[in-house]
Amino acid sequence: MKNKFTENSVKYAIILFMRLSIFIKEMHVLNYLTHNYHVTRFLKSTPNIYALLQGVGIEVAFIGRSNAGKSSAINTLSNQKSLARTSKNPGSTRLINQFEVTDGARLIDLPGYGYTLAPKPRKNQWLRELGEYLKNSQCLKGIVLLMDIRHPLQGLDQQIIQWASDFERPLILLLTKADKLTYTASRDQVNIVRKAMLPILGDAPIEAFSSLKKLGIDKLTERLNMWFSGLML
Ligand X SMILES: Nc1nc2c(ncn2[C@@H]2O[C@H](COP(=O)(O)OP(=O)(O)OP(=O)(O)O)[C@@H](O)[C@H]2O)c(=O)[nH]1
Show the binding pattern over residues 76-115: x = contacts Mg ion (CB under 5 A), - = does not: -----------------x----------------------
Chain centroid to CA 139: 12
Separation of alpha carbons 83 and 163, rounded Å? 29
Binds Mg ion by CB under 5 A, chosen from 71, 76, 78, 229: 71
Separation of alpha carbons 63 and 109, rounded Å? 7
3-state secondary structure of 51: helix
Separation of alpha carbons 91 and 32, rounded Å? 36
Residue of minimal Cβ distance to ligand X: 112
| Residue closer to Mg ion (CB basis): 31 or 87 | 87
212 interacts with, out of ligand X, Mg ion, none, CB within 5 to 8 A per kind? ligand X
Maximum CA pair distance of the chain? 83
Which DSSP state fits 112?
A: P
Q: Establish if 212 lies at the interface with ligand X (CB under 6 A).
A: yes
Q: CB of residue 166 vs ligand X: minimum separation in angstroms?
A: 23
Contact residues toward ligand X (CB under 6 A) are: 64, 66-72, 86-88, 90-93, 111-112, 176-177, 179-180, 210-212
